[in-house]
Amino acid sequence: MKTIGHFVNGMHYDGDSDRISAVFNPATGVQTAAVRLATKAEIDSVVELAASAQTAWGTTPPAKRAQVMFRFRDLLNRHIDELAELLSAEHGKTLADAKGEIARGIEVVEFVCGIPQLLKGEYSGQVAGGVDSYSMRQAVGVVAGITPFNFPAMVPLWMYPVSLACGNAFVLKPSERDPSVVLRIAELLHDAGLPAGLFHVVNGDKEAVDALLDNPQIDAVSFVGSTAIGEYIYARGTANGKRVQALCGAKNHMVIMPDADMNQVVDALMGAGYGSAGERCMAISVAVPVGEDTAERLIEKLTPRIHALNVAPYTDPASDMGPVISKQALERIKGYIAEGEAAGAKLVVDGRGLKLQGYEEGYFLGGCLFDEVTTDMSIYQNEIFGPVVSVVRTGEYEEAVEMINAHEYGNGTAIFTRDGDTARDFCSRVRIGMVGVNVPIPVPVAYHSFGGWKRSLFGDHHIHGMEGVRFNTQLKTMTTRWPSGIRDGAVFNFHTGSDTQA
């Protein structure tokens, strides 16, 4: 059985730690590898390498940094089939889903190929007599990324290409559950011409995370994962003087108006609720039909579609949905289903009895659908992170908006309607970071920015797009005057634009 190490200073590094974590194939439940968990001393050594390399990289012309990203993009496209296979084998998602994930990551690489334009500052001449002002954005220094299992390729690609293009060095701590695709992509980035020392991948657990949060040479930390861990990272990182963005949990609602195209709604909800086994922070886990007739039509059309889901390993080209990531995740999801039943919700479709011949030890769960869910139930309040959709019936539109705004999470939401006035009102009033109109998963394209509100985000910056550039840079403003032979003596007040002399 292979042991997976790290990628340090442009090459693979086995590591010295005797602590390891098992990597499983979720479809079979069989361990396929062991990943070595970095020690604090190893983390500190890697950060020192990154800090040493960053100085020269930060002064490299942005156009030269962009050339690396152009080559990196080409290599990712060329190897996408290989990368999808590595990803699916450890995560369990279908190959089509894996390729889609990688493609969304490539879009961010394409975005930062324009980094010379993105880093342009501003200039104002003659702000006072003989005085000019201009601004520039400079790299923050060394950035750390801590990323989740559910998007082992895409989420890291949302972070480090932007950071590197801005002139930073980057240390990535990916999920130890599916590390192989990250390491292969690190090889491709090195092959694209990124100088050694600027990008490192260190596998680890809480010891590695704490080492990154405490290391004084880490200037900024980007995180995607659960709210509990994100809040911890934000508190510890900012207490140590670091800039932190922590994108966290979600409970995403889809409001279904009486005038909505129900066939379109069901198609959308199937993909948004059950794609990737529901292991997405942007998954729709709550359907909110407005009116009893809308609810009845939704249940009638949705139920047979869930029963018809083809749940199978990624090696089956007809698979709609693969297993969840681990045995622990499977048991946690089943626990929520039992809680929902006990609380009085109606379990319309129960996927717990699913068994696949030859994959009896895999972490498979069929699609589940609850009806008559109320907002006091745990299946409504908490992020289940599995293929479970809850239907919460509402009598009117206002009730739906109030429900969404009252929830502690504010990541994504959607409304399905033919009425433009209703859609416009929804977009304006709903307190959520990302909103879809007849779009179930409103993940922005790479040149816009991704992020939620409320307890779905800790920190001031969203990820990728211009918000990503701002997070990875610091603004510096210069005010200049050159000797002109005119001297009026000391000035004790602030200069203003109306001053005739500086």
- Residue pair 444/288 in contact (Cβ under 8 Å)? The answer is no
Give Cα 37 distance to the centre of its chain: 23
Active-site residues, by number, are 281
Residue type, 91: H
Q: Read off the pLDDT band of 223 (50, 70, 90).
A: very high
pLDDT surpassing 80 at residue 402: yes
pLDDT surpassing 60 at residue 212: yes
3-state secondary structure of 144: strand
- Report the CATH superfamily, name and number, of domain 2-248+456-477: Aldehyde Dehydrogenase; Chain A, domain 1 (3.40.605.10)
Which neighbouring-strand residues pair with 54?
none
Other C-beta atoms lying within 10 Å of the C-beta of residue 66:
18
Q: What does the mean pLDDT of the chain come to?
A: 96
pTM: 0.95
Please give the pLDDT value at position 499. 59
Q: How many residues comprise the chain? A: 502
pLDDT by residue (tens digit) across 226-243?
999 999 999 999 999 999
Mean pLDDT of 173-187: 98
- What is the second-level CATH architecture of the domain 252-437? 3-Layer(aba) Sandwich (3.40)
pLDDT by residue (tens digit) across 295-307?
999 999 999 999 9
Tokens linked to 254: 């889809």
Q: Where are the domains of the chain?
A: 2-248+456-477, 252-437
Our CA dihedral for 279, 281, 282, 285, rounded to 10 degrees, sits at 60
pLDDT by residue (tens digit) across 22-69?
999 999 999 999 999 999 999 999 999 999 999 999 999 999 999 999
Please give the pLDDT value at position 502. 44
pLDDT by residue (tens digit) across 107-116?
999 999 999 9
Please give the pLDDT value at position 1. 84
Mean pLDDT of 338-361: 96
Report the C-alpha gap between 414 and 149 in whole angstroms: 25
Give Cα 161 distance to the centre of its chain: 14
Report the C-alpha gap between 399 and 416 in whole angstroms: 16
Give Cα 142 distance to the centre of its chain: 20
Report the C-alpha gap between 415 and 402 in whole angstroms: 14
DSSP 17-81: ---EEEEEETTTTEEEEEEEPPPHHHHHHHHHHHHHHHHHHHTS-HHHHHHHHHHHHHHHHHTHH
Tell me which residue of 259, 68, 83 sits closest to 170, measured CA to CA: 68
pLDDT surpassing 60 at residue 126: yes
Mean pLDDT of 265-292: 98
Tokens linked to 2: 């292979």
Q: Read off the pLDDT band of 486 (50, 70, 90).
A: low
pLDDT by residue (tens digit) across 351-380?
999 989 999 999 999 999 999 999 999 999
Q: Read off the pLDDT band of 272 (50, 70, 90).
A: very high
Report the C-alpha gap between 197 and 51 in whole angstroms: 8
Report the C-alpha gap between 429 and 423 in whole angstroms: 10
